[in-house]
Amino acid sequence: MDLHQNLLGEPPATRLPDFPEAREALAAAADPAEAAARFPTHSDAWAALARRALDSGDAVAAYAYARTGYHRGLDQLRRAGWKGHGPVPWEHEPNRGFLRCLHLLATAAGAIGETEEHERCTTFLRDSSATAAEELSG
């Protein structure tokens, strides 16, 4: 008997593949735009751009960057077998870019008064990873 089997019939956790070259490019870049241009599917680069825009007071740019990273992450989740719901664990490092984008999209949506999007993304983040919701909101 598998002691880790989910008996409630929920989908298994989705774990995105790691892309060390993209991760290393972002870590080495003086500007996250360099990494986003070189690796446009790397959600963490878009999250870094969104964070920078929010920190500088440009919620509209943050919204655009976060939405881009969010959609790139959704594409990757679907390719990894995600069916539109289920856990996306924060503990799995490659998932963090998507989860950061989701959090930043909620934050930017709230900042520009897009209440429904803010609430949808906040709920989606919490449903995907309670740990991410706690880490990123705290």
- pLDDT digits over 28-81, tens only? 999 999 999 999 999 999 999 999 999 999 999 999 999 999 999 999 999 999
Q: Identify the pLDDT of residue 138.
A: 79
Predicted TM-score of the model (pTM): 0.92
Query: Residue 5 domain-assigned?
Result: no
Which DSSP string corresponds to 65-90?
HHHHHHHHHHHHHHHTT--S-S---T
24, part of any domain: no
Map tokens 């446009």 to a residue.
40
Q: What is the pLDDT of residues 79-138, one digit of tens each?
A: 999 999 999 999 999 999 999 999 999 999 999 999 999 999 999 999 999 999 999 997
Total tally of structural domains belonging to the chain: 1
Copy the structure tokens of residue 71: 């959609």
- Tell me whether residue 76 is in a domain: yes
96 occurs within a structural domain? yes
Instruction: Look at residue 3 and tell me whether its pLDDT is greater than 80.
Output: no
State which residues form the domain around 92.
Answer: 31-136
Tokens of 67: 């939405």
Quickly tell me which residue has 């934050």 as its tokens.
107
Interatomic CA distance for residues 12 and 28, integer angstroms: 34
Q: Which two tokens stand for residue 82?
A: 């995600």
Report the pLDDT value the prediction gives residue 6, as an integer from 0 to 100.
55
Residues 132 and 99: beta-carbon distance below 8 Å: yes
